[in-house]
Amino acid sequence: MGTTTGFSTIDWVTREDLVALARTSIDTIRRDERRHGLETRRDDAGRVLVSVADFIRIGRLREADLTAGSTPGESAAILRSRETLAQLRAQLARAEGGLEQTQAVVDTLREQLAINNRQLTKRDDHIAQLTALLGQMAAHQHALSNTRGAM
């Protein structure tokens, strides 16, 4: 075979890397292996390896899916990183939206607290006025009692 887009077409990658490159499921890769009688190998860690060239030949993988100047394994890592980055951006957008909603709730609660504080201040003023009036009434009542007792 030859070399295309900076990788060797005799490169072997793990099934998981091919799943990322082909943007498909591991079950689809296994079906392709059986359907097309594709050779597999095992690496030192016991992982199943598949030939990149085989999956290009059967049309499951396009050379355009590989990053120029990178090995297929590196291309898979780059693709997974991009997908992770896209997921993180989506999570960040959701978190920022949630933060905006939370800030709106905080603003509403602050407004309600300010209203409650004003109401409590008015209540305290009313209580002070009523206490003063009760004191005046008690003093007046006491003065009346003394006046009646002196008669």
Backbone φ/ψ region at 105: left (φ over 0), alpha (ψ -120 to 50), beta: alpha
CATH of domain 3-89: 1.10.1660
Cβ atoms of 29 and 18 within 8 Å: the answer is yes
Query: Whose structure tokens read 């050779």?
Result: 39
Contacts of 69 (CB under 8 A, 6+ apart): 5, 6
Give the pLDDT band of residue 126 (cuts 50, 70, 90): very high
Confidence of residue 5 (pLDDT cuts 50, 70, 90): very low
How far apart (Å, rounded) are the C-alpha atoms in residues 67 and 83?
14
Using a cut of 0.85, tell me whether the model's pTM lies above it: no
Domain coordinates of the chain in residue numbers?
Answer: 3-89
Question: For the residues 46-61, what does the mean pLDDT come to?
Answer: 94
Residue 135 confidence (pLDDT): 92
More confident residue, 8 or 125: 125
